[in-house]
Amino acid sequence: MPAAPHMRQPARVREHLLGLLAPTVRSLGYDIEDVTITPAGRRRLVRLVIDGDHGVDLDAVAEVSHAVSEVLDGPQGDELLAEPFVLEVTSPGVDRPLTAPRHWRRATGRLVSTSVDGSAVTGRVVACDESGVRLDVDGTERELRWSTLGAGRVQVEFSRLPDPESER
């Protein structure tokens, strides 16, 4: 028996899901970072990775999960996911690479490692804007343009610096 059309083109289904779900997720104040569809026994696992400017807590996961479930249970979701599925909504882990300006903006205040024109650099994100990111590298602020910056990684710190805003 030939595979159903949606099974033959997983990349196409992924793109359709992104287009279908992005407005709902965006209306709740979050961005879709990734969506994957993988076999899980007799079902499919639809994993939706979301992020927001203020992070993602359990309430946000529940809110997005409920809203996305309503969309996927509708006619367009039925058309894309003709088989039973399990929805998992999650946030990106700390090991997620910083590749888009919004990732860097959300990492403000965090220690990151990256490459700049092929050289390794570690510093704290001070700010970012449309032209690039500003890192504090050993007490010296460096303006780095997006075109020279490689993917960054947040460094796990067990004793973070105090937030000046919280001390007021």
Domains, the chain, with CATH or none = 5-90 (3.30.300.70), 101-167 (2.30.30.100)
Other CB atoms within 10 A of residue 145 CB: 11
Task: Give residue 7's pLDDT band: very low, low, confident or very high (50, 70, 90).
Answer: very low
pLDDT tens, 104-139? 998 999 999 999 988 999 999 999 999 999 999 999
Q: Distances in Å between the alpha carbon of 15 and those of 9, 45, 67, 124, 134?
A: 10, 16, 19, 34, 33
List the alpha helices (DSSP H) in 38-126.
58-72, 75-80, 101-106
Average model confidence (pLDDT) for the chain? 86
How many residues comprise the chain?
Answer: 168
Task: Give residue 162's pLDDT band: very low, low, confident or very high (50, 70, 90).
Answer: low
Q: Do residues 112 and 124 make contact, with C-beta atoms less than 8 angstroms apart?
A: yes
pTM of the predicted protein model: 0.71
Other CB atoms within 10 A of residue 36 CB: 14
| pLDDT at site 41 | 85
